[in-house]
Structure 1
Amino acid sequence: MMRNRLTPYQYGSVCILFAAMLWGTTGTVASFAPDISPLAIGAFSMGVGGLIQACLACRYFKFDVSRLRQHKANLVLSTLALFVYPLAFYSSMALAGVAIGTVISIATAPFFSALLECLFGKKNVISRRWLMSFFIGVVGMALLVFSESSEQADSESNTKALGVVLGMVAGFTYAGYSWGAKTMINDGIRSQTVMGSIFGLGAILLLPTLVFTGDALFASAVNVAVISYMALVPMCLGYIGFGYGLRYVKASNANVLTLFEPVVAAVLAVFVVGESIPVLGWIGVVLILLCLLLQTKE
């Protein structure tokens, strides 16, 4: 009977997959409010979600404040990375398309995360299983992207190129704050304190940008429902799950597990938005799921 219990790594993997599933709903939900700027959606959802996380973590700050002070540089860099991430991510989707923007942002994060861990970590994190799963995942992502974007070949290449670059910026900054959070958690700081600190400070930077971008946020009941969902569910609840998962999973593995996000996004796009995915795209989905299976077995 005890054999069926999850190991700490598997428990962490489930938490991260749960977070990725919630994040995968953002593109579909945002499609119901097309008049809201992508910058405003990113700033509001991450900012308000960050404030909620900070409030929930208040009771833990007093226990970890001394250790948190020892990571001031790490905390500042992680906060700056969090500030840039949603702005680059949602802008990438607006310029390159939801599929390509999401895929580039998510698929490059594991590479950048592994690079950071190799450069600044105490040991090499690149195992054969990681390389195999990452390669399978990238192939799957490529099939999913190219199958979805084949009908959009006539769009402006310069705009798409800028969207791809911003997607890589999003991937790097995502990896940056994930690695920073994992480093602090490894030093014994509670995940609630770490995520609450990073997201709370990030909210202070993100929310003022709404003065320039957030004019349509409360224009209709649908818009209010969309931004409320984005802030409370994927950005607050999702990142709480992600923080718990980082207790047991290396940042490089965690970012590979988030490849589940575009799979969820693609399935919702088919069954909710009414988009279609060619056969190659579904083969890509299967490969990504195989990638996730290899990661959770580690």
Structure 2
Amino acid sequence: MDIRGCFYILAAASMWGLIGVFTKFLLAEDISAMEIAFWRANFGWLCFLAHAKYRRIVRVSYRDLPVLLSFGFVCVTMFYVSYQLAIRDVGMALAAVLLYTAPAWVAFLSRVILKEPLGAIKLTCVVMTIAGVACISLGPKLLGGSTIPLDLFGLAAGLTAGLTYALYYIFGKKWLHRYSTPTIFTYALPFGSLILLPFVDFAPKSSTAWLLLVGIGMICSYGAFSAYYAGLRRMEATNAAVIATFEPVLAAVLAFVLFGEQFGIFGYAGSALIMAALLMVVIDQKTRRNKECPNSDR
């Protein structure tokens, strides 16, 4: 395994793990979740645009524009907003765990859209993920012990974030594999933020708020995705997916240290089920790939 690839993936996971920290501080500055998503998309876009222009990879085929713009709506507008809302309503630790229901969504959507088989392991992982979400959502009612408020809207927002995050894979696999990351986000991010614009109430901002907004765009959008795909060029996607599970772990630790967030026993059990399901999916993918290409790791 390429150590540089591991470093890049860990760096990406760490930067994604900071989304909740930026969001919490920005909410404390009276910046709404919608506005945070708007500026995150725009500051990230400026970085991707500069990158694409530098590499001269801005142009795309006109026939691919509808797909790129659809990607912008689903994976920028819906994903960015739902994740910011989830952090606002259920905290950064639980939002990060719910985000990682994405592999279960991928398994289901791959069967429906890509016609990939849904084997026993994938089906088991879907069931484990559902059970994990049930533990998280019902646990406080059954036993308590959690400092994280159960908010049904926030729970739905977190699951929506997981679904729209999973659609990154579907879009990439089916339609966008011909383009590099800077090219895709050069078109997706401004369109996604444009759809958000009518719903944003712009608040007065301090210099601290502006620095946080620039930071979440440059670090958690541009920096994280750039590092992640740099890592993917050096290692298998399955290994990258396992290492990326560092994100919810880091988010949970930071949420506890900085904001005092902690799960009850059912919350920890549900989180463990979701993380175990994720690991089962990626290990199963690696096993299948090694059977098809025995020398793929060499």
TM over 0.5: yes
CA distance in structure 2 between the partners assigned to 1:88 and 1:237 by the alignment:
21
Are positions 1:86 and 2:80 aligned together? yes
Aligned in 2, Cα 1:117/1:51: closer, same or farther, shift over 3 Å? farther
1:167 maps to what in 2?
A: 158
Are positions 1:269 and 2:255 aligned together? yes
- Give the counterpart letter for 2:49 in structure 1: A
Normalised TM-score (structure 2): 0.71
Contact 1:38–1:91 under 8 Å retained in 2: yes
Are positions 1:22 and 2:15 aligned together? yes
CA distance in structure 1 between the partners assigned to 2:266 and 2:153 by the alignment:
26
Are positions 1:54 and 2:49 aligned together? yes
Q: What percent identity do the matched residue pairs reach? A: 23
3-state SS of 2:203 partner: coil
1:183 maps to what in 2?
A: 174
CA distance in structure 2 between the partners assigned to 1:225 and 1:240 by the alignment:
21
- Give the counterpart letter for 2:44 in structure 1: G
CA distance in structure 2 between the partners assigned to 1:244 and 1:195 by the alignment:
15
CA distance in structure 2 between the partners assigned to 1:263 and 1:132 by the alignment:
23
**1:146-225 maps to which residues of 2 (within 5 A)?**
150-151=144-145, 160-186=151-177, 188-206=178-196, 208-209=197-198, 212-216=200-204, 218-219=205-206, 221-225=207-211
CA distance in structure 2 between the partners assigned to 1:171 and 1:154 by the alignment:
19
Q: Structure 1: where are the runs of 5+ without partners? A: none
Are positions 1:232 and 2:218 aligned together? yes
CA drift of 1:292 comes to 6.3
The total of aligned residue pairs comes to: 278
Aligned in 2, Cα 1:117/1:276: closer, same or farther, shift over 3 Å? closer
- Give the counterpart letter for 2:79 in structure 1: Y
- Give the counterpart letter for 1:87 in structure 2: V
Contact 2:147–2:264 under 8 Å retained in 1: no
Moved more, 285-294 or 90-99: 285-294
CA drift of 1:127 comes to 5.7
CA drift of 1:238 comes to 0.8
Per-residue displacement from partner, 1:172-231 (whole Å, max 9, x unpaired)? 222223421343453x3223322333224334444x358x42314x22x33233222211
Per-residue displacement from partner, 1:269-297 (whole Å, max 9, x unpaired)? 22333445567766777777666665369
Aligned in 2, Cα 1:114/1:243: closer, same or farther, shift over 3 Å? farther
Contact 2:34–2:84 under 8 Å retained in 1: yes
Aligned in 2, Cα 1:43/1:116: closer, same or farther, shift over 3 Å? same
Normalised TM-score (structure 1): 0.71
CA drift of 1:232 comes to 1.3
Contact 2:91–2:261 under 8 Å retained in 1: no
CA drift of 1:78 comes to 0.6
